Amino acid sequence: MLTAFLREHPMRELLKGGTRKLYPPAENRQAWEKIPEVYRQEIRKMAEEYAAAPYPLRTATGFLAFVRNGDRQADEKGYFTRRRKLCASILNCCVFPDAETDDVVDGIWLLCEESSWVISAHNVNPIPGAPKAAEYPLPDVRKPYIDLFSAQTGMILALTASLLGQRLDAVSPMIRKRITEEIRRRILRPFMKTDDFWWMGIRRKDLNNWTPWILSNIMVCAALDPMPAGELAVLLTRACEMLDRYIAILPDDGGCDEGAGYWNMAGGALLDCLILLETVTGGRMTFRDNEKIRNILRFPLTVEMGNGWFANFADCDARPFISGERMETAGRMLNDPALTALGTRMRGTVADQLNDVPHLTRALDLIFHAPAGEPKPEFLNAGDLYLPDLQLRMIRRGGWTLACKGGHNGESHNHNDTGSFILFLEGEPAVVDAGNMVYTAKTFSAERYTLWNVRAEWHNLPIIGGHEQREGSEHAAQKVHMTPDGLEMNLEAAYDETAGIRELKRSFSLAEKGLRLTDEGTLQNGQEITWIFLLRRKPVWENGRIRAGNLMIRCPEELAFTAEEKPVEDPRMARSWQGSLWRVRLKSGKLDRFRMIFEFVKADREA
C-alpha cells in the first residue's frame, strides 16, 4: 500500500511540499498561550508534584531482577517515573516561560547516561539464534536494541530539543548535540543498519503493535533530526516498507485481536505514522479513503460496550485507557460522527497520556487539538456488527449488549477463550471476561497458561471431562457463521483429542428479553461436563436459576451448582473490577450426548 504509492511518488519529491516542524516551539508564545486553561493548570500542578522528588535511580540490580525472579517493576518503576517527570517538566517550561529548566536538563542528561533505553523485560531480541536473557542479563552497550520504550525515549528527547531548543542552548549547546548523537547512536543508525529486529517483519512475519508503535516514534526522531532531506526520504521509505508488512497481516475488517486497549498502540500508533507522513509531505501522502485503514481506525467504536466499557477478549482491560484525542482525530479524518463523539467523551487529561506510558506526542496532541465540541450523550453503534476475520460478533437488543467470538487460541496476547462471550445489561457488566493483569516474567513465557486469567476454566466456556481448551492456532472455532440474532460455531477443535469430543456446537441468540445460549454435542464416552460463567455480581442459586444482581440465568434442571468468589487483588485488573468476581460452575452427570440451553434474562421478570 504505502510502498506502492512511493514507487509512483518518491518520498524525496513528496518531502518538498511538507514541514518537519511537528509542534510549536516554546518561543511561539501565541500558540502556547492558546492552550486551554484546564490543561495549563494541570501541567503546572503535575510538574510541581514531580519536582518535589528527585529523579529515581535506575540500577543494574533492578535490571537484573527480571532474570533473577521475574520482577519487571524493579526496573520499570524508576524507568517510567524518570520519563514522566521529564515530560511534565518539558510541558511546564513550554507553557510557563519563566519556569526553571534545571529539571529538564537533569532529566535529559540522566536519560543520555543510561546504558540502555530498553526495559529489562525487552532486553533480548526474539529471533531464532539471538542471545537469551540468561546469557545476557544486562544490556550490551555496543549493540543498542530498539524496543517499544527505547524508541519512545528517543521521541521524548527529540521533542525536547525541538520544543525547548533555544532555552537548552542558553544553558549549553552541548545538550542538544548530545541528544542528537544519542538518538542517532541508539535509534536511527541501528534502524538503518540492521534487519534483525523482529518487529521489522523481515525475519519474523507474526507482527503486532510493536511495529507501528516503534515506527511512530522513530519517524518523529527522524523528522526532527537535522539530517538532509535525502537521508530522511530513505529512512521514511524504509519505515513505510515495515508499516506495509504490519498492515498486510491485519484483517480486512480492521479487527485487533489484542483487544481495544491495544488499539492505543496498534491502530492508534498507525494513525500517528500516517499523520506524520501527511505532515512531512504537505498532505500529498494520505490514505484516509482506504477501506482497510478506515476499518482499523474505527475498531474501538466497533467493540464499545458503553459507559467506558469495551469487549475485552485477550490481554485487554475491561475499562482500558484509550487515547480519546486519537479516536476523535480519526473520527474527524474519516468524517465519522460516532467515532468522533466517542473520542470526545474519552479525551481524558494530560496525565492520562503520560501515566499509560509516557507518550509526549499524545500529550501534545491533546493540548493543541481542540475538542470537536461538547461531549455528546452515549452514542453507541446502532444495530449489529460482525468482524468476519476476527470472528467477533457485537449485537444489541433492548437493554442487552452481547460480545461473542470464534477465533482461535493462537491470537496475539491470546487467552484460551474461543467461543466465549461477554454480556452487559443496561450498560453494566453481568457476564464478564476478567481481562489483563500486571505483566510479569510469566506473561510472555512458556508459563503463560499457568496464569488463571488466561486459562479457559476462567472464561465462559464448558469444561469437558476435566479438559479445558488448549492454546495454539490449531485450536480454533469451525463452521462459524453469523445468524440474524447472534452467532453459531463448532468448538470441538478448541480442545485436544484427549477430551474425546466428536462434536460441540455453540449458538448465541439475543432478543430484547435476553440471551439464549445453546450447547449441544456428542462425546466418544460418557463424561461429566462443567459449564463456567464468570459473573460480576454474587450469584444466588434459586431452584435451577441463578440470580446475580439484576441478572437471572435459567439453567437446565439436572446441573449441580457451585460458586467461587475471586477477590481481585491484581492492581491492573482492579482498575476495572473492584472487589470480587464470581465463578459459577454448573456440573452435569456423565453424558455422551447433550443439548443444554441457558437463558439470561432480567431478574425482575421472575418476580
Span 214-251, pLDDT tens digits: 999 999 999 999 999 999 999 999 999 999 999 999 99
| Bridge partner list, 488 | 481, 507
Q: Which amino acid is at 194?
A: T
Q: What number does CATH give the domain 385-606?
A: 2.70.98.70
Residue-range domain boundaries for the chain: 2-368, 385-606
Q: Residue 395: what are its φ and ψ, rounded to 5°?
A: -145, 140
pLDDT of residue 95: 98
**Maximum separation of any 2 CA atoms in the chain, in Å:** 81
**Pair 114, 165: CB distance under 8 Å:** no
**Pair 88, 354: CB distance under 8 Å:** yes
Q: How many CA atoms lie within 13 A of 215 on its CB side?
A: 36
Answer with the residue of higher pLDDT: 67 or 149.
149
**pLDDT interval class at 371 (50, 70, 90):** confident
The per-residue b/e assignment along 45-84, b for 16 or more CB within 10 angstroms, e otherwise, is: ebbeebbeeebeebeeebbbbbbeeebbbbbbebbbbbbb
Residue 179 has pLDDT above 90, yes or no: yes
Residue 350 has pLDDT above 90, yes or no: yes
**pLDDT interval class at 183 (50, 70, 90):** very high
Answer with the residue of higher pLDDT: 39 or 135.
39
**502 DSSP assignment:** E
**pLDDT interval class at 440 (50, 70, 90):** confident
**pLDDT interval class at 256 (50, 70, 90):** confident
53-61 LR contacts (CB < 8 Å, sep 24+): 55/81, 55/82, 55/85, 55/106, 55/107, 55/110, 56/81, 56/82, 58/82, 58/114, 60/138
> What does pTM read for this prediction?
0.91
**Pair 533, 460: CB distance under 8 Å:** yes
**Pair 361, 369: CB distance under 8 Å:** no
Give the separation between CA 330 and CA 315, rounded to whole angstroms: 24
pLDDT of residue 383: 61
What percentage of the chain carries pLDDT values higher than 90? Answer: 86
**pLDDT interval class at 370 (50, 70, 90):** confident
CB atoms within 10 A of CB 607: 6
Give the separation between CA 478 and CA 408, rounded to whole angstroms: 9
CA angle 8, 22, 85 (to 5 degrees): 135
Query: What burial class does residue 525 get, using C-beta atoms within 10 Å of its C-beta: 0-12 exposed, 13-18 middle, 19+ buried?
Result: exposed
What is the third-level CATH fold of 2-368?
Glycosyltransferase (1.50.10)
Answer with the residue of higher pLDDT: 44 or 356.
44
CA angle 528, 468, 395 (to 5 degrees): 100
| Bridge partner list, 387 | 392
Answer with the residue of higher pLDDT: 306 or 128.
306
Domains 2-368 and 385-606 share a fold: no
Q: Which amino acid is at 53?
A: A
Give the separation between CA 553 and CA 548, rounded to whole angstroms: 8
Residue 606 has pLDDT above 60, yes or no: no
Give the separation between CA 247 and CA 254, rounded to whole angstroms: 10
Q: Residue 420: what are its φ and ψ, rounded to 5°?
A: -80, 175
pLDDT of residue 384: 87
**Pair 321, 352: CB distance under 8 Å:** yes
What rounded mean pLDDT belongs to the chain?
94
Helices marked H in 142-209: 148-163, 165-171, 173-183, 189-193
pLDDT of residue 133: 62
pLDDT of residue 607: 38
Give the separation between CA 71 and CA 441, rounded to whole angstroms: 7
pLDDT tens-digit readout, 452-479: 999 999 999 999 999 999 999 999 999 9
Taking residues 420-448, report their average pLDDT.
93
